[in-house]
Amino acid sequence: MIETVIRKRIEILTDSALVKRVTDAIDRAEITGWTVTPVSSGKGREGKWREERVMGTDKVFVLTIAPQDKAMALAEDIAPLLTTHGFLLTMWDVEVIRGERF
């Protein structure tokens, strides 16, 4: 039987222009990897939005998986940006195979 371990899956919705700030924070938390995925549209408290490359406000999801302690270090590091730049951060438990990789 395959063994799994619990890790935190973290998704951060941000403007693409700010991806480096997010990935730098992931690196500072010593999380081993991340993935950036484009997001073309959505809807939130302030209404609908669409990708806007001309204005530089196109959005991306930054996805990473980490142990609890590193996930919390990342969240604390970027918490100020959640308010000042309107980031969205979600985090939940996931089961992963080969937990030593995360």
Residues 12-63: tens digit of each pLDDT: 999 888 999 999 999 999 999 999 998 877 776 666 666 555 444 588 999 9
| In contact, 1 and 84? CB cutoff 8 Å | no
pLDDT score of 50: 61
Structural domains in the chain, CATH included, are 11-93 (3.30.70.120)
- What is the model's pTM? 0.83
